[in-house]
Amino acid sequence: MSPAPAVAALDWGTTRLRAWLLDGSGKVLAERRGDDGLITAREKGFAKVLEGHLAAMGAPETLPVIICGMAGSRQGWIEAPYVTVPAPIGAILRGAARVDGASRDIRIVPGLAQRLTEAPDVMRGEETQLAGAGLPAKGRHLVCMPGTHSKWVAVADGAVEGFGTWPTGELFSVLATHSILKHSLGEHPAPVAADSPFFRQWCERALGEGGDVTSKLFAIRAAGLLQDLQPADAAACLSGLLIGGEIASARRRYGASDAPVALVASGALATLYGSALGFAGLAFRTVDADEAVRAGLVEAARENGMIGGAS
């Protein structure tokens, strides 16, 4: 007989969804991935999409469900209003919004808002990864969550001090597809290898420039004309430049960490950012992004009394 799940956990984004059945310790008993993110679920109905995935995993009818991500945005299922930072991570999780009128206990973790005049910012989903990143309860810690819109978070004694967004993944994609650099990178840029000497060179150049990236973009084009830079290498240059610029800028904004930077990432992105953090001379430990979001969801379920036990 298979063990009974304690909670169903969902990371429900704009275009994708991941769902798990977890036991009380966060162990995965079943898993589903779907393309029915917010955009699709708005048409089909969130409850219907959710119950379909739960049924497919054999979830009991009364199993509680904890959700993070864009499903809690104004365009989502119900709005889980932003928690304003600074805020303790436990308090953020306890702000989960309950879906009324559902046949089971369903709650959505709120996003975070940084309501600073000069640096307004928002996140939804990453706050749950953050909660599951295994940060020490004491001291000042930096967390790097790379992606389309990379987030850096400064945490002090278990509370979010502040955070910032660097749209590094989006910039790569937009510049590779729609700017003059498309001629440099070619039509189908190959994945960038973290051991590419071009990735390292341009990353190191960017690290020395405090986050100034725009002065070097056209140099990639010029290197094609003057230095015979090849398309695959041009993609590595652009990736190194943007990631190096992100790290330099975040380091300038947030300063030092009392412990290695927590790099919350998976796969190729984890490798690229790991290399780049190394070039920057920053100690880091990698936390698998999938494991972090699941651990954060379990923590949220516990903080909201949906499952038993102390954290």
Q: How far is 277 from 253, CA to CA, in rounded Å?
A: 16
SS3 304: coil
- What sign does the CA torsion over 257, 260, 264, 270 have? positive
56 binds a copy of itself (CB under 8 A): no
Shortest Å, Cβ 109 to a copy of itself:
18
Q: Which of residues 246-305 bind a copy of itself (CB under 8 A)?
A: 246, 248-250, 252-253
Q: Which residues contact 172 (CB under 8 A, 6 or more apart)?
A: 238, 239, 242
Q: Which of residues 186-245 bind a copy of itself (CB under 8 A)?
A: 205, 209-219, 222-223, 225-227, 242, 245
Shortest Å, Cβ 293 to a copy of itself:
21
> Judged by CB, which is closer to a copy of itself: 13, or 132?
13
In this structure, how many other beta carbons lie within 10 angstroms of the beta carbon of residue 308? 9
Q: Which residues contact 119 (CB under 8 A, 6 or more apart)?
A: 162, 164
Shortest Å, Cβ 185 to a copy of itself:
14
Query: Is-cis flag, bond preceding 191, omega within 30?
Result: no
> Per-residue string for binding with a copy of itself, 113-132, x by CB under 8 A?
xxx-xxxxxx----------
Q: If you search the block for the tokens 């973009």, which residue do you land on?
A: 217
> Judged by CB, which is closer to a copy of itself: 62, or 117?
117
How far CA 289 is from CA of 38, 132, 134, 216, in Å, comes to 20, 9, 12, 31
> Judged by CB, which is closer to a copy of itself: 101, or 120?
120
Size of the site for a copy of itself (CB under 8 A): 48
149 binds a copy of itself (CB under 8 A): yes
Shortest Å, Cβ 249 to a copy of itself:
4
23 binds a copy of itself (CB under 8 A): no
Shortest Å, Cβ 98 to a copy of itself:
23
> Judged by CB, which is closer to a copy of itself: 9, or 71?
71
Q: What are phi and psi of 95, to 5 degrees?
A: -80, 10
279 neighbors 248 (Cβ within 8 angstroms): no
166 binds a copy of itself (CB under 8 A): yes
94 binds a copy of itself (CB under 8 A): no
30 neighbors 53 (Cβ within 8 angstroms): no
Q: How far is 130 from 140, CA to CA, in rounded Å?
A: 14
Residues that bind a copy of itself (CB under 8 A): 113-115, 117-122, 149, 164-168, 170-171, 174-175, 177-180, 205, 209-219, 222-223, 225-227, 242, 245-246, 248-250, 252-253
